[in-house]
Structure 1
């Protein structure tokens, strides 16, 4: 590594480490401007996938400003269908204020205009002309009536004519009476015509007043509307909206000059809501430099993603309007990037379906479930899903639409090559975290211990872990122990203590099992030899902590035709991989020992004192060696434990958890007493996976403990028995031949 005293002398790491493949995929995914090229980011927890994704997005969005402000406004033609208007970023807030200012100005100016002397004079003149014509009509009919001997009188039922000489007694013949009623009917008909003419005059007066009112209104309103139309001339929808607003204001202009007390009707008060602007998505609060939005939605419920409509409770009813439409994360991410966590998204199947429809249709509608139906908004965004490889595989396999819309797979590795560059990178990562979180800086030796820990996580001497969350745990805890010592820097001993104490906090189950071995409750022999008995090695996991423990495997054999019986399988305590491993033993026996006669055997294989089940094929080698021992009668050394799977051709194959398995047997031997003869047999190809604790490594170097690497079954058998394999093979064949003869006799 770089030479330094402590990480304060190291340049902090600003980029992600060991993820070249993922970085390349992310870059191409962000550059492709196609709605199908959304991105799925996968990887183990702690590999930095979320941190890198957000950092890459925040860097990539600089200088990109395809996003807009979005407003919902009242639809004067179809009131239940609010109109959406897209405006250049930052214009939305201005538009909202302009409309508010317009209405405020009109309320003041129209009130002043209709209270002005000119308006009152004009209105009075119109009404006076009406009154003159009305009086002329009345005067004319009145005069005519008087000429005919009748006078005009108003009553509750309207105008009536009565005789002028109705109180005088005079003789009337039949002709005069007939003439009287004829004149009376004529006058009544004329009165009816006058009434209609007066009504027409009233209508004309009313229309004239309305025309005057509209003329005054246009005089006040049009300059404001024209100014706004000019200001927003690039936006056709805004101009159309302003013209329709103008017409609506003129239609309801009387509401603009009524006093507050006169607006008693709630409808009149709510009338002005239609002139508001719902600034639905406001991107104008950003800095002058253009940044496309990056929206991270932690709880992607349908409402949080796709918006909702609020309600008011009034007189027992729920009421809403276009001003109560609220945006979701998809609306806010329009023109930019939407980041979602796959596991959270799939908790809401409806959200997942709606998201796919939105990507496909390139538009989104707020699903109001109410009487109002807002206009759809066009959508242009890229979706980034962050999740596990498991979820990716499930979606890819079972969701036919997934591959259509998420064509870019960004796969974060959980390990990287162990080389100088990456080791320096870990030192720089620690330097960054120390600066960022105000921690003590790490010495050179302390960093080396962290690197060893990173290598141990991978289980490969030539790899380093990219699970930086686990590395950070040791950084924080090492800093705490340095604080306790009141040291200026975090030293090697602090890191070692952090690792040791962390193991101690998590190893309760391991300690209990160690006690069981010490007390003799768990039968494990680490000395001597036994026929058909071998120490296998297994790994147990309790949450994040894994440890290895030896398990006694026993095999008994006899003549018969049951073949190899996996006792765990018979009681449903064996997993499918372990079952496969046991079945492979039959193939190996058939090829190597039963080419000249039928294989007739009852072989019972058991993991002794196993109460929790078993899976995996790493014990198949140990099971075979114990089986060969039982058939040959040659005992197996109990001071050597075995791990490694085998194939039907006798090759020993790599297994997982090799470090934990070796350490598990070492510490078991240590508790029961090391005798310099104990050790383990492992597959040769697992040699690179030996990332052992210092104590175990030192014991191996000092000859206190041994590791044997093998490639084939024959090598392992010879180490376990000190016999040549050919000798053992001869004994096994003889035993199997006897079993075959016995079986033939039984059949015969």
Structure 2
């Protein structure tokens, strides 16, 4: 046990408190590297499950170093299927800059190369060679035509041969000579035309050859500029086959469209797609190298797990009345960012998106993820290696386990946070250290020893068990913060016991509006509750009302009337649909107890009507079954019951009294009622004996019990409770009950 004057003298709490089972489960879940061993963390709000989960994940994340950077690049072979490239973390940004620098450099160097003197000389030389060969062909055919008497002339339709006029043509010729001359003329003309056609084809071949030679020269110059840079990057990224293939395909594409690299910018905009160069960009999709904690695996918490937030999306541009996208507009989701590490999701948020849950299961199963672009582009999937941590409550866990067949396949580790822990020195010291931690963390005044003991008492009260402490640290933290506020108001250096008490009481006041209204109704006589005297067929049962985070006990007047008949026990609340299934079950149990203990020699013939008086909100639970039995027997036997003693306790068909919940609130509720109507010293409550450890009562009530002003009776059987309520032996009560039931049975038989 720690010894200290105030919490500034002790070491703050560094670990989670009172959750060994949960910690062991979390540890094994994080150690197992298997895609099916994802983790579900369950527990009440405020038990520290999220805080612990994040600390544990940070610890294990610091020991993992296999996460990567991911880039999407243009697919030169299949343009609609962007290629995913995984790189060592930190290398993605470098790769992106390298490609940007490559394109910028090529734009400059290719312009210089194609505007250089050497290129112009080589280009002009090829053109000159073409022109020489072309002239040679034309001169040759021209000369031959002249020898044959024809002159070559160019026209719109091509080369035309015109006959050269000969003086001999003026001489008169015989018809035979004229015919022979015409035949010779057309023969030569046809020969020349045939030769002209051949020359045209040869010139075209020369043009094609010249163009091919120019392209070869252009490619040779381009390769001279491009290859050193490509080779340099290929060597730099030699460990990445996808990068090498990408660079090789990029080289081919640049060579094919090299003219765009030295084309005038205005001409490029006019004649070609201005976004052509987008294909040479790199989309740094996931960058794990920029974060200060890049040496640790990513731990991603997604608070709004919509499909796009989890699995990425593509942004769009509006273009000619439609939408347009490309690989540079792909946006990663939380799953992409968590790749190589841990993804934390809150179950209640995740299940709001049914599609997200289905996609998450498919991702875990396939171990890969793409980007759902809902367009014609289909990005290559990325292999996934991550562990999913779902944080929720036990109710959600049970729903998923029972109604989703895939859940148990993929979430094999259940981390169950308890809302209570054993009350021992170790855990009390833990709460003390927790207070020290919060005081340091939130810059609060430190707590004195007595103030800490008051907080521990409050923790026990929250747990509802004298042998337990609560692990709902959010409630404890509220008392710590508010205790500091009241100490500040008093102007003292440390938070003392009284400050904690004021914080607890004031908090209760803020939340107790409904309780105050019910007390006012009691004082004004609107609510009929007697705390003195005796009545037949009337008893004060105890119930708990829950108003959000605040709960309080109230006595409820239960009445029973009986008569001969065959309706059995009638639950009036059930008849008007104001009774829950557990309460209905409890009422049916009464019939079983009556039949076994009082009606073995004759048929049970009774009409018994049970009612919770002035109940307008419904009733459920079985904690009133004992009280209902005592009231039923009182109505049958006409033995009055004490109104100064209230009753709670479930019972079974054999008459055993069973534990119930909210026992402290129930006892305090009846004490408060008695106090308002006047304490007499003989008032008290009957509770199940096994509930004794749950009597975490207020200081005022404990003091009243010690002074004999209020009593608590602990029973194990209904017989004990009846004797306390009537001051009669159970044998006598049983005899009267049997006689009365026998009389009912006789009346019923005679009425047939």
- TM-score class, shorter: over 0.9
| 440 and 167 in structure 1: CA distance in 2 versus 1, 3 angstrom threshold | farther
Which structure 1 segments of 5+ residues have no match? none
Name the CA distance, whole Å, in 2 between partners of 1:651 and 1:411. Answer: 32
Q: Provide the rounded CA distance (Å) in 1 between the counterparts of 2:4 and 2:422.
A: 22
Could you report, residue by residue, the CA deviation over 1:328-347 in whole angstroms, capped at 9, with x for unpaired residues?
11111111111111111100
The answer to whether 1:317 aligns with 2:318 is no
**Alignment CA distance shift 1:634-1:141 (3 Å):** same
Partner in structure 1 of residue 101 of structure 2: 101
> C-alpha displacement at 1:266, in angstroms?
6.7
Asked if the contact 2:151/2:162 (under 8 Å) is kept, the reply is: yes
Aligned to 2:23: 23
1:695 aligns with 2:700: yes
Match of 1:357 among 347, 354, 362: 362
Cα deviation, 1:288-323, whole Å, max 9, x if unaligned, reads 872111111111100001110111112222111111
Distance 1:266 1:512 in 2: 83
- The residue aligned with 2:112 is 112
Secondary structure of the corresponding residue to residue 269 of structure 2 = coil
Secondary structure of the equivalent of 2:268?
coil
3-state DSSP of counterpart to 1:152: strand
Residue deviations 1:558-587, cap 9 Å, x none? 111111111111111110100111111111
Instruction: Indicate the SS of the match to 1:161.
Output: strand
Instruction: Give, in whole Å, the separation in 2 of the partners of 1:135 and 1:555.
Output: 129
> Could you say which residue in structure 2 is the equivalent of 1:70?
70
Question: For 2:310, which of 301, 305, 326 is the aligned residue?
Answer: 305
Deviating above 4 A after TM superposition, structure 1's stretches of 4 or more consecutive aligned residues are: 166-169
Q: Does 1:475 align with 2:468?
A: no
**Cα 1:166–1:447, aligned 2, differ >3 Å: closer, same or farther?**
farther
Q: 1:391-439: per-residue Cα shift (whole Å, max 9, x none)?
A: 1000000000000000000000010011111111111111111111111
What SS class does the counterpart of residue 111 from structure 1 fall into?
helix
Secondary structure in structure 1 of the residue aligned to 2:379 = coil
Query: 2:587, 2:167 → 1: CA distance?
Result: 137
Which residue of the other structure, out of 558, 561, 565, is the alignment partner of 1:556? 561
Q: Corresponding residue for 2:121?
A: 121
* Inter-partner Cα distance in structure 1 for 2:571 and 2:701: 34
- The equivalent residue for 2:51 is 51
Partner of 2:455: 450
1:465 paired residue number: 470
Q: Sort the Cα spacing of 1:30 and 1:673 in 2 relative to 1 into closer, same or farther, 3 A.
A: same
Of 663, 681, 694, the residue aligned with 2:686 is: 681
Question: Which residue, out of 395, 412, 424, partners 1:419?
Answer: 424
Deviates more, 1:236-245 or 1:169-178: 169-178
CA contact (8 A) 1:564 1:586 kept: yes
Equivalent in the alignment of 1:12:
12
CA distance in 1, matches of 2:33, 2:693: 44
Aligned-partner Cα distance in 1 for 2:294–2:403: 43
CA drift at 1:224: 1.1
Q: Which residue of 1 aligns with 2:382?
A: 377
Deviation per residue, 1:649-697 (Å, 9 max, x gap): 1111100000110111011111111111111010011000011111111
Q: d(CA) in 1 for partners of 2:211 and 2:168?
A: 45
1:138 aligned residue: 138
Aligned residue-pair number: 747
SS at match of 1:84: strand
Determine the C-alpha separation between the residues in 1 that align with 2:16 and 2:103.
54
Per the alignment, residue 154 of structure 2 pairs with 154
Matched residues in 2 for 1:147 and 1:261: separation? 53
Which residue, 643, 648, 661 being the options, matches 2:648? 643
Measured after TM superposition, the shift of residue 108 of structure 1 is 1.1
1:173-232 deviations in Å (ceiling 9; x for gaps)? 232233222222222221111111111100000000000111111111111111111111
Mapped partners of 1:132, 1:703: distance in 2: 132
Q: Would the aligned equivalents of 1:443 and 1:490 in 2 still touch at CA under 8 Å?
A: yes
Query: Is residue 687–residue 709 contact of structure 1 (8 Å, CA) maintained in 2?
Result: yes
The 1:645–1:177 alpha-carbon spacing in structure 2 relative to 1, beyond 3 Å, is same
Gaps spanning 5+ residues in structure 2: where?
none
Contact 1:621–1:645 (CA under 8 A) maintained in structure 2: yes
Residues 266 and 739 from structure 1, CA distance in 2 versus in 1: closer, same or farther, beyond 3 angstroms?
farther
Question: Equivalents in 2 of 1:668, 1:288: separation in Å?
Answer: 60
Q: Is residue 2:87 matched to residue 1:81? A: no
Find the aligned partners of 1:3 and 1:87 in 2 and give their Cα distance.
Answer: 56
C-alpha distance in structure 1 between counterparts of 2:291 and 2:328, whole Å: 23
Is 2:390 aligned against 1:397?
no
Aligned to 1:570: 575
**Relative to 1, partners in 2 of residues 1:715 and 1:192: Cα closer, same or farther, differing over 3 Å?**
same
Q: What is the RMSD of the two structures over their aligned residues, measured on CA atoms?
A: 1.3
SS at match of 2:541: strand
Query: What displacement does 1:237 show?
Result: 1.0
d(CA) in 2 for partners of 1:371, 1:276? 20
Aligned equivalent of 1:335: 340
Q: 8 Å contact 2:288–2:294 — kept in the other structure? A: no
Residues 656-735 of structure 1 aligned to structure 2 (within 5 Å): 656-735=661-740
Aligned partners of 1:610, 1:287: CA distance in 2, in Å? 62
Per-residue CA distance 1:419-465 (angstroms, 9 max, x = gap): 11111111111111111111111111111111111111111011111
2:358 aligned counterpart, secondary structure: helix
Using structure 2 for the length normalisation, give the TM-score.
0.98
Q: What is the Cα deviation at residue 167 of structure 1?
A: 11
Secondary structure, counterpart of 1:154 in structure 2:
strand
Secondary structure of the structure 2 residue equivalent to 1:730: helix
- Give the drift of 1:161: 1.6
Residue 163 of structure 1, CA deviation: 2.2
Please list the CA deviations of residues 617-643 of structure 1 after superposition, one character each: whole Å capped at 9, or x if unmatched.
Answer: 000000011111111111111000000
Three-state SS of the structure 1 residue aligned to 2:601 is coil
SS at match of 1:279: strand
Distance of 2:308 and 2:395 partners within structure 1: 27
Q: 1:554 to 1:231 in 2, by over 3 A?
A: same
- CA separation of 1:614 and 1:167: change in aligned 2, threshold 3 A: farther
- After TM superposition, give the deviation of residue 169 of structure 1 in Å: 7.4
Report the equivalent of 1:580.
Answer: 585
1:482-493 to structure 2, matched below 5 A, reads 482-493=487-498
Q: TM-score, normalised by structure 1?
A: 0.98
Q: CA deviation at 1:737?
A: 1.0
Following superposition, the deviation at residue 121 of structure 1 comes to 0.7
Output the CA distance in 1 between the equivalents of 2:552 and 2:354: 39
Q: Is the 8 A contact 1:63 1:289 kept in 2?
A: no
